Each structure stands twice: as C-alpha cells, then as structure tokens.
Amino acid sequence: MNLKQILNSRLLSNTFNLFVLYGISSIVPILLVPYLLNTIGVEKYGLVNFALIFSFYFQIVNEFGFDLSNVRHIVKNRENISELGKIVSSILQCKFILIVCSSIVYSLVIFFVDTLRSESTLYTLAFIRLIGIVITPYWFFRSMEDVKYITRISVPVKLLCILPIFFIVNSTDDYELVMLCYALETFVSGILALFIMKKRYGIRFQLVKTENIIYYFKDSIPFFSSTFLMRVYKNMNALILGFFVGDFAVGLYTAAEKLHNAYSSFVSPLLSQIFYPYFTRINNINRTTKITILLCVLNTIILACGYFLSPYLIHLFIKTEAASIISNFNLFLFLLVISVPADMLGFPFLGILGKINSVNNTTIYSAFAYMLAIAVLILTKQISIENVILALIFANIICLSSRIYLISKTLNNDNKQIQQ
C-alpha cells in the first residue's frame, strides 16, 4: 500500500475522526470545570455530576451490550438494506422496552428518596439526557466503518448545546440549566443521527416480530454481562461519595476526575482500536512485548511530567478549592500509572494470545477487589475522596498483577511446548 492509498484509506479516516471526536469531548468538559466551580459552586457542581452518575447506571442497563453485539450482524448484512432495517428496528425496539421499564424504576426511586425528590427537575433532565444517549445509533456508524458521521454529528451539536453554558449559567441557581444543555446535546444528537442513518443508508424503520426482539436480547446477554461489572465499579466512586459524604465531596472528586478522564479518553481508543488490531495482524509476541513496554514507560514519563506541572497548570484555571483538586488529581495520576498498563495487557496483549476469557476474569477479580475495599471503608466509616480513589488503585493493582501472571504463565507454557 503506497502513501496515497494510506492517506485515502478508511482506517486512517476513522482514526482521525476518532481522535477529533475524543479530543473535543475531552476539552469541552475541562473548560467547563473551572467555570462551573466558580459560578454554581462546588456543591451544586457535585449535585449535577451526582445526577449524571445516578442516571449512568440506568444507561448501562439500557445499552445492554447492543453496541457490541450488533457489530457482526450489521457487518454481515451491510449490503442488504432490507436486513439492515430489520436489525436496526429490532435493536431500537429492544431499547424502547428497556427505557420504558427504566423510566418506571427511575421515577419510583426519585419519588421515594427524599434527597432525590427535592431535585426532581434536575433528575428528570438527566433522564431526558439518558433517552438521547439510548436512541443515538452511533453503534451503527461504527459497525459500517463510517466514524466520520459520528464526528460530524457529535462535534457541532456538542459545541452548539454546551458552549451556551458559558453565557446562560451565571449563578448558583442556574445549575439546572447545565443539565438542560447536557440533555439537549444528547437528544438533538440522537434525532439527527437517526435522520442521517435513514437518509444515508436508506434504513426503513419497521415493527418487528416478538421473536426478533427476544433473539437480540439473548444475543446481547454475553456482551452485557462481560462489561456490566467493569462499568459499574469504575463509575461508582461519585455515587458512594454522594450518599455518604455529600455533594461538596462529589464536586471536588469529579473536578479531578474530569482531568483523569481527559487523558484516559485518548489512551483507551488508542489501545482498543489501533494497537489491538495491529498486534493481531503482526502476530509477533516479541515485537508486541517491546511495544507494550515502550508504551508503558512513555505513559509513566508523561504522567510524571503531569505530576510536577499540575500545581502550576491547575492553579491557572481553577481558583476554587484548587489545593484539594490538585491532591486528588495526583492520586488519579498514580491510578493511570497502574490502569494504562493493565489495559495494555488486556485485549491488546492477552487478546492476541487468545485469552479473551482471561481478560474478562481479571476484570471480575478487580471489580470484587474494589467492592471489598469499599465495603471495608463503609463498615469502618472511612469513606473519603482519597480513600475511594485508593480503592480504585487497589483494584487496578489486582487487575495488573493477575494479567502479568497470566501472560507469564502462557508464554512459559508456550516455550516449554516449543522445547519439547
């Protein structure tokens, strides 16, 4: 493949659009952090983020692994418009059933929990935001390898819906307007994406038979079960802090976490969507090992630089509770020193060794380690921002250690077989 073919390839286009998308998605929240801390205050900022995390658990259920399970069906039928319409309609109707059931449970929880009922408008807006996420068919564009449409929809809508926050949110009482903008972003994106999918690919929405809905539910169960536990525990800290410490602590925690997420949002797609396919293609353990070690060392150097620069950079943008946010951010940097190598040794490394179940098992081990640590903190009444981050670090150490052990064991067994 020559340079011109590479530059015009769909892979390069998808990679470029992916980084534009994740770049904008990371930069906008970082810009919002100092502004919202100064306008609505740490406590209301924490309340907004607590509502987002609360609705996130309903999001996990409503996605139900469809974003992963649909890939092989759509790829296999990408030239069959009629079958694509049936697949898309089946998945959307499955999600409709889940969103109706979720709305009932969500409403009951809000009604019976006093602290949530007092902020019913905020939580209603958070649920509208959830509906937008659920109906958005970005999974379809990824499966069709047309990531550019995700970027073309997401970036302009995000800018149009989120940037007004800087103009309409001016005081503590305006915190609900923040959630309104978030809800508009996902809902408008969802409607626009459905329209473009219909026009671009000629997708016809239709009512499908009950057996089709049952089939796609059953088909997604393995994908849902393998990702549910990981997504739950990796996003539980803010929820724990909200219930046991309060919205102010959630505000401090999420302000530091946004900076952590900005870095990991670049690294995660790099590992899963670039290096995993590359390692699979070259099928060379020695080269894979060298690249993995190099990336882990580079990650540590970058994070070390972040540790020394963070007191100066964060103080430039964040004036409210900057010392506490810097302290928490430094713990997140140490978490990344552990979590990025753990991710590298997951699907990029164990994946090419054919140990897919081992990746899922090590995720389960780390999830239980986290749950155990949190249970101990609750029983000993030691819940704090620092301690819940340390619980995440502990869980990721378990994950990293178990993956190193499994890789070492697998490679040793392979060497013994070669020698025999």
Q: Between these two residues, 223 and 2, which has the higher pLDDT value?
A: 223
The predicted-structure confidence for 103-157, as pLDDT tens digits, reads as follows: 999 999 999 998 889 999 999 999 999 999 888 887 787 777 676 777 777 778 8
Identify the CA nearest to 236 among candidates 388, 376, 65, 338.
Answer: 388
Confidence of residue 23 (pLDDT cuts 50, 70, 90): low
Q: Does 6 score more than 50 pLDDT?
A: no
Q: Per mean pLDDT, which of 106-115, 258-267, 315-324 is the most reliable? A: 106-115
- Terminal CA-CA length for the chain: 40
What DSSP character marks residue 173? G
Domain assignments of the chain as residue spans, ordered by start:
9-221, 236-420
The predicted-structure confidence for 44-84, as pLDDT tens digits, reads as follows: 989 998 999 899 889 888 888 777 677 777 877 877 888 88
**What are the CA-CA distances from residue 193 to residues 67, 157, 246, 250 (Å)?**
15, 11, 37, 33
Q: Between these two residues, 23 and 100, which has the higher pLDDT value?
A: 100
Quote the pLDDT of residue 7.
42
Q: Does 394 score more than 60 pLDDT?
A: yes
Q: Please give the distance of CA 133 from its chain centroid, rounded to a whole number.
A: 12
Q: Does 355 score more than 90 pLDDT?
A: no
Whether residue 390 contacts residue 331, with contact meaning beta carbons closer than 8 Å, is answered with yes
Quote the pLDDT of residue 168.
92
Whether residue 36 contacts residue 252, with contact meaning beta carbons closer than 8 Å, is answered with no
Q: Between these two residues, 331 and 146, which has the higher pLDDT value?
A: 331
The letter for the amino acid at 276 is Y
Confidence of residue 206 (pLDDT cuts 50, 70, 90): confident
| C-alpha Rg value of the chain to the nearest Å | 22
Determine how many CB atoms are found less than 10 A away from the CB of residue 401: 15
**Helix locations, 235-317, DSSP H:** 237-244, 247-270, 276-282, 285-317
Q: Does 354 score more than 70 pLDDT?
A: yes
Determine how many CB atoms are found less than 10 A away from the CB of residue 114: 7
Give pTM, 2 decimals. 0.77
